[in-house]
A and B are shown apart, each in its own frame.
Chain A
Amino acid sequence: MPDFVVNARNLRKIYAGEVVVDDIQLNIRRGECFGLLGPNGAGKTTTLRMLLGLTPPDGGELNVLGFEIPRQARQMHARMGLVPQGDNLDPDFSVAQNLRTYARYFGIPRSELDQRLPQLLAFASLEHKADAGISTLSGGMKRRLTMARALVNDPELVVLDEPTTGLDPQARQLIWQRLRELLAQGKSLILTTHYMDEAQRLCDRLAIMDNGHILVEESPAELICQHIEPQVIEVFGPGVEQWGVDCGRNLAQRLEQVGETLFCYAEDEQPVLASLHQFPQLQFIHRRANLEDVFLKLTGKELRDA
């Protein structure tokens, strides 16, 4: 059994003369949850589509689950599950029919699926909804059904493209719990997300992409430790700029103004907090540095509309 579920060497994609994925290297280990992060237009989706064999690369070598991609994509798909960004369930079918129909795409015999159906419905927490139409499901239910659908073939690798986008907090918690169950079963996960808390919580390792490059590839804890000061104080209120010039820049290692908020990054938060207590008109939030701080530091803070 190979140690890696994905091996990409010098993977490259060019659209209309523009390099959107620029010779990236990617090694994703078996059994880990790997996150692919990056602002819009960074090349995440193109990278993901190449891994799935849906976009032919313009250069490099790519191996997924031991299969050469895109040439052997069909064999690889038999052992992989995909949870796409938009739910593309069959709206004319019930919950159970969606699972049965999808299983047929894999050539799974009906009797075999019928045996596993209760298990799949339980995974999606939709036991009582087997015969319900898709239009009667909430967003969270649809996403869970899409996840169950990705498991009809008991895959080794599950790829999730923004699995919790658009869901309410309760629905997200349930999805996270289910993803942990999959990891406990020894499955490998690859996920993209815009939620840094989600990536920090779930991913064993992650890569941050921008402009077609992989900027860093590490565990979330390592990334925070290596790339950013441990303490963050967000300051806002009248006179925040002046405070930054007079006091903040001498007390914190790094300052960054984003909109009306001044971010102070410090090794030691005490001098900053002591200073702020003398300026009652300023409000502040003190917290530990997190993945979002790393992400913004590495990819910049300007808005991406791509």
Chain B
Amino acid sequence: MPDGNFRLPRFSSRCLPVWQRNAQVWIKLSGPSLVGNFGEPLFYLLALGYGLGSFIGEVDGLPYIVFLATGIVCSSAMNTATFECLYSAYTRMKVQETWAAMMAAPLNLDDIVLGEVLWAGTKSLISATAILLVASLLGLVHGWQAVGVLPVAFLLGCCFGAMALVVTAISPSYDFFLYYFTLVITPMFLLSGVFFPLDSVPEMVQVGVQLLPLYHIVEVVRPLMTGRPLEGVFGHLLVPLLYGLAAIWLALGLLRRRLLI
């Protein structure tokens, strides 16, 4: 029997109230959230950038703290979106039943999934804005073309938000998320060129990392922040875009199977 749950998503502007609801909750609780958005990257940059950087010197022709700042914009945005669509989305689905309340109104799962994904993109955008501000105050950003990082961070957030929703859709509990963090997010975080250039790892690993979205985002964000020429932007952005679209389709199918029974 063909599974009708995996039919293509049907998107509309009905996703906006879902996004708006999440945004309003965030505004209410934005104090601790913003401290995290500014504080964590700041301490990373100070400790690793200056501390470790004084031993390392230059990496890839850049002072280590600059190299690191360009990577941390990406990894923080990834973590923000991932957390949002794992723990927070799971809470809205299972604990608070926010989604059930929405589905009794004229909203369906298609709207909810798209709203959540756009919200994850927005949270990544907020995170990237905070780090760009910190980095530019520390004098680590080269020129106004760095603003181009913001739409890229939004795309990154949507991509990782959608991927996290796939995990949420099949998760029996919060504990299950550790698998995804340990087996997917952490290796990507460590190997995608955030802390050191990709060419310092074995070729097999390089090929694997290039199949994953974070590396390609870093490859676009680094030249945007350092004023270097952009190369192969289209190809690099295509990877997270495809991951994001495929993950939206898969997450929606799995959620329909889980919730519309």
Contact = CB atoms under 8 A, between A and B. Distances in A.
23 contacts: A52-B104, A54-B103, A54-B259, A74-B106, A77-B105, A82-B104, A84-B100, A86-B97, A88-B100, A91-B96, A92-B25, A92-B28, A92-B29, A93-B24, A97-B24, A101-B17, A101-B20, A102-B105, A105-B102, A105-B105, A105-B107, A106-B105, A107-B14
A104 interface: yes
**How many of chain B's residues touch chain A, expressed as a range?**
20 to 34
B204 interface: no
Contacts of B106: 74-75, 77-78, 105-107
A56 interface: yes
B98 interface: yes
Interface of B: 14, 17, 20-21, 24-25, 28-29, 96-98, 100-108, 259-261
B261 to A, nearest CB: 6
B21 A74 contact: no
Closest 9 CB pairs of A and B: A105-B105, A88-B97, A82-B104, A104-B17, A77-B106, A88-B101, A92-B25, A78-B106, A74-B106
**How many of chain A's residues touch chain B, expressed as a range?**
20 to 34
B21 A104 contact: yes
A55 interface: yes
A84 B21 contact: no
A73 B109 CA distance: 12
A90 interface: yes
B260 A54 contact: yes
Nearest to A74: B106
B25 A105 contact: no
A78 B14 CA distance: 13
Interface of A: 15, 52, 54-56, 73-75, 77-78, 80-82, 84, 86, 88-93, 97, 101-102, 104-107, 153
B108 A74 contact: yes
A88 B96 contact: yes
Given A54-B104, A90-B96, A101-B17, 5 more contacts: A15-B261, A54-B103, A88-B97, A92-B28, A104-B21
B105 A90 contact: no
B111 to A, nearest CB: 9
Contacts of B105: 77, 102, 105-106, 153
B100 to A, nearest CB: 6
B17 A90 contact: no
Contacts of A89: 101
B20 A104 contact: yes
Nearest to A101: B21
A82 B103 CA distance: 10
Nearest to B101: A88
A77 B14 CA distance: 14
B24 A101 contact: yes
A78 B106 CA distance: 6
A78 B260 CA distance: 19
